């Protein structure tokens, strides 16, 4: 889910990436706009091209287009400031390596499995910008090809641990095209003037059949025992969790020819997977439900939005799907008129839709809420007549730059709660932080409580000073949110209109930042917060990377284990822990 932005595409979709960055920069993959529909019948000239023009002539035309692009588009490496050095790409390992330097002790009740995190790792030395007769366009740092970073935890019969680390690019179709050429193929098409961006779309399509890259760099999820890498530009890519090898695109059926949200949710009780596909032409948003065995699309419905809202996440409860429709929109007509492709308008409406699991557009109950940008939902659940939605909400545009009249840090997210009464239509909103100046994002919970009432959540805590002065989001720690407890420090204050919830922090040392944190339930754990937080951590002073394990029952105490990674791990996006057995597989 930011001030970070990148666009990716398939033949059907044009998509933005979610991360956070100030100053019309970064996001975590949100579909932007469809240009070429795969189910569109070819025009007569296209049929003629396929049938009448000899293959040699087509090859000649392709070479001429290459010569034109090589002659009139100049690729320029984008330099990184020293403060952004850990966003630089790293080399792919040939094979997994054993990690031997561990400070502290991995708990005995830590489960066997894989901690895996996705993130951008651009090819050919880093991100590019281009100059041409059409103007200038450039990549954004989150636009790099996806790379998986995985730490494997295998326990012996005697209770000792073997830990291995591996990384590997997600080999999408467009990744393979560029690797074969051994040089950049796709012109950057996110920042720049409209003519340069439109020409980039055109020449990318003429040269590859794709408008832009399938970056697959945002999240990793599991469904029915299979593991997938995903960004909202395309269908997910199935991966071999042991080798990190990319297998195939997850082709559900010909009926689902859309992008796929980076945050699909498993429905409570049934285990079905609920997803959302957003595009900038009608239908703007389609909800899909996939069977628990992952083999069948059992429900698909156009929810009939009248604009392309950047819906990065979708929520579920036991009976409902939850849709966020906020005034951060994508409009191809704006781009064609020379305006912004993505724009936030605080004067426009914002609403949350509650849709029966197998409902349609007419069955959605919409609730008007205060205008905001919310990329990440913490959780949603039913509580009597109310549907409760909690998320990380900002009050200003995530893209483009914040309004100059906005208050400082309004673009950063805070934890928020909406209570939606299904009988009366009443909305109750609450800032869970109260007046406490704490900003956070990338929420996580115990996955066993997705869609049901919960007491705890965890988030990455923003360092606002580093994020503002360096134009990039950096997270100095992790917060534990006690959602049913108020903060005693503030509860006696009569000036406090809303009592903030209790929050506990685990902060890292100076110039040390985390990313990709995930909650790991303990083996044999009973209580909701009986688990551990695992996260990648990077020290910018020493330029070293570690993985930290934090006890959620002793949250502000000492780190349980610090695992030294012998290679630098760049900052990335979402992480997950996958419990698996290694007996026959690794």
| Locus of tokens 């009592």 | 499
Q: Is 416 labelled as part of a ligand binding site?
A: no
Length of the chain: 586
- Give, in order, the Cα–Cα distances in Å from 223 to each of 220, 226, 494: 10, 5, 48
* Closest among 324, 205, 202 to 265, alpha carbons compared: 324
* Closest among 26, 148, 126, 28 to 81, alpha carbons compared: 126
Q: Is 158 labelled as part of a ligand binding site?
A: no
Query: CA gyration radius for the chain?
Result: 23
Alpha helices in 399-543 (DSSP H): 464-469, 488-491
* Closest among 265, 220, 213 to 239, alpha carbons compared: 220
Per the CB < 8 A criterion, the answer to whether 539 and 518 are in contact is: no
- Give, in order, the Cα–Cα distances in Å from 513 to each of 120, 167, 306, 440, 537: 17, 20, 40, 13, 6
Q: CA 80, 30, 422: angle at the middle one, nearest 5? A: 140
* Closest among 256, 260, 368, 274 to 322, alpha carbons compared: 274
Per the CB < 8 A criterion, the answer to whether 122 and 190 are in contact is: no
| DSSP H helix total and E strand total for the chain | 7, 39
Per the CB < 8 A criterion, the answer to whether 389 and 380 are in contact is: yes
Per the CB < 8 A criterion, the answer to whether 48 and 27 are in contact is: no
Q: Backbone phi, then psi, for 508, in 5-degree steps? A: -95, 170
Helix (H) or strand (E) holding 164: strand 161-169
Residue 149 neighbours by CB under 8 Å, 6+ apart: 116, 117, 119, 165, 166, 167, 516, 536, 569, 572
Per the CB < 8 A criterion, the answer to whether 567 and 92 are in contact is: no
Tokens of 396: 């200003």
Tokens of 77: 């490496």
Q: Is 538 labelled as part of a ligand binding site?
A: no
Q: Is 312 labelled as part of a ligand binding site?
A: yes
Q: CA 132, 136, 142: angle at the middle one, nearest 5? A: 125
Which residues fall in the annotated binding site for Fe cation? 263, 312, 376, 574
- Residue list for the binding site: 263, 312, 376, 574
């Amino acid at each position: 889910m930011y001030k970070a932005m990148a666009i990716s595409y398939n033949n059907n979709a044009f998509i933005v990436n979610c991360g956070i960055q100030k100053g019309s920069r970064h996001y975590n993959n949100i579909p932007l706009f469809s240009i070429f529909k795969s189910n569109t019948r070819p025009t007569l000239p296209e049929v003629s091209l396929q049938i009448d023009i000899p293959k040699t002539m087509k090859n000649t035309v392709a070479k001429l287009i290459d010569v034109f692009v090589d002659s009139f588009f100049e690729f320029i490496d984008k330099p990184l400031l020293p403060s952004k050095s850990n966003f630089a790409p790293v080399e792919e390992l040939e094979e997994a390596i054993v990690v031997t330097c561990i400070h502290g002790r991995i708990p005995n009740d830590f489960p066997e499995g894989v901690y895996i995190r996705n993130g951008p790792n651009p090819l050919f030395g880093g991100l590019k910008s281009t100059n041409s007769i059409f103007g200038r366009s450039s990549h954004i740092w989150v636009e790099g090809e996806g790379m998986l970073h995985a730490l494997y935890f295998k326990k012996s019969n005697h209770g000792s641990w073997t830990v291995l680390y591996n990384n590997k690019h997600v080999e999408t179709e467009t990744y393979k095209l560029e690797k074969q050429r051994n040089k950049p193929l796709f012109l950057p098409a996110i920042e720049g003037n409209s003519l340069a961006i439109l020409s980039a779309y055109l020449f990318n399509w003429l040269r590859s059949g794709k408008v832009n890259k399938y970056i697959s760099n945002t999240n990793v999820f599991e469904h029915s025992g299979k593991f997938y890498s995903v960004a909202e530009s395309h269908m997910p890519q199935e991966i071999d969790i042991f080798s990190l090898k990319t297998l195939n695109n997850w082709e559900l059926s010909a009926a689902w020819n859309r992008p796929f949200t980076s945050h699909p949710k498993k429905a409570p009780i049934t285990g079905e997977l609920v997803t959302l596909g957003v595009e900038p032409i009608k239908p703007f948003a389609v909800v899909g439900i996939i069977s628990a065995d992952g083999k069948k699309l059992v429900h698909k419905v156009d929810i009939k939005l009248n604009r392309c809202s950047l819906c990065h996440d979708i929520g579920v409860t036991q009976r409902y799907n939850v849709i966020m429709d906020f005034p951060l929109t994508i409009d191809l007509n704006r781009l064609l008129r020379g305006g912004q492709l993505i724009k936030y308008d605080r004067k426009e409406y914002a609403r949350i839709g509650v849709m029966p699991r197998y409902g349609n557009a007419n069955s959605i109950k919409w609730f008007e809420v205060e205008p905001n940008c919310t990329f990440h939902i913490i959780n949603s659940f039913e509580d009597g007549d109310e549907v409760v939605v909690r998320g990380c909400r900002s009050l200003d545009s995530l893209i483009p730059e914040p309004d100059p009249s906005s208050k400082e840090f309004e673009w950063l997210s805070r934890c928020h709660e909406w209570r939606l009464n299904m009988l009366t239509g009443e909305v109750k909103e609450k800032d869970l932080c109260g007046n406490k100046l704490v900003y956070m994002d990338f929420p996580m919970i115990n996955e066993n409580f997705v869609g049901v009432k919960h007491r705890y959540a965890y988030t990455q805590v923003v360092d606002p000073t580093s994020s503002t002065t360096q134009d990039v989001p950096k997270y100095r720690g992790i917060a534990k949110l006690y959602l049913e407890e108020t903060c005693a420090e503030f509860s006696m204050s009569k000036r406090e209109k809303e009592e903030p919830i209790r929050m506990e922090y685990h902060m890292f040392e100076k110039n040390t930042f985390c990313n990709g944190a995930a909650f790991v339930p303990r083996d044999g754990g009973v209580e909701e917060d009986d688990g551990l937080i695992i996260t990648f951590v990077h020290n910018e002073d020493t330029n070293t990377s570690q993985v930290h394990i934090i006890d959620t029952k002793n949250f502000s105490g000492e780190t349980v284990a610090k695992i030294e990674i012998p290679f630098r791990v760049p900052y990335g996006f979402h992480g997950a822990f996958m419990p698996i057995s290694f007996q026959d597989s690794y």
